[in-house]
Structure 1
């Protein structure tokens, strides 16, 4: 994916992505540095924490198929862990989503 495509995606976040992005930015004082619509390995990750090699995806009903499995496997070969949340999870339980992300961030080694 091109940088231009990623920039366009940043301007058109879904409501759930925008909601989660607001909360992820609150993690900066804890030393976590989220990026949104980040080009990685030919894909654009909804959110990433590059220094912890963590990718967070927020999915609607069109996701969860074999294409996502192949994409996740490709990203994992690059050393990333992929967490996927459904839109409804962000809508109904954003605190739980943040807790899960924080737990994963805290369990992963810091990379420069």
Structure 2
């Protein structure tokens, strides 16, 4: 395995192992989403970045932001990441930790709506062949 691939694999594993409680809670719902054609992965690489959750097939990224994201530098970093993801054709949906804790049903409704929007945008049908992930 090339050195860069090993580094990416190790980085993704480290991020998955250090998920926040809110990320774990949301992951329990996202990984088993009962919508045909969805398959989300945790902290898989997209370019130089590791979004919290992503579906390559839907080109949909879900990010979970905590209180540490309120710093100006972090907000600018998140904006740069989002612009880069969007330039690659991905849609980014962000949630704050407190939304996941206190408004989980609303968060899940937003994710389901984004999934349906992406399926429509990308002209994917339920059960249609597509790329993995």
The bucket for the TM-score relative to the shorter chain is over 0.9
Provide TM-score, normalisation by structure 1: 0.92
Q: Larger % of strand: which?
A: 1
Q: Choose which of 8, 16, 23 in structure 2 pairs with 1:17.
A: 23
Give unpaired runs (5+ residues) of structure 2.
Answer: 1-6, 125-129
In structure 1, the gaps of 5 or more residues are: none
Provide the aligned C-alpha RMSD in A: 1.4
8 Å contact kept, 1:41–1:78 = no
Question: How many residue pairs are counted as aligned between the two chains?
Answer: 111
Residue among 25, 30, 40 paired with 2:35: 30
The question of 1:60 aligning with 2:66 is answered yes
Shift of 1:11: 1.2
Alignment partners' CA distance in 2, 1:25 and 1:71: 23
Deviation readout 1:52-93 (Å, 9 max, x if unpaired): 100000001222511110110011111101111000000001
Provide the C-alpha distance between the structure 2 equivalents of 1:88 and 1:57, rounded to a whole number of angstroms: 13
Q: Which residue of 2 aligns with 1:43?
A: 49
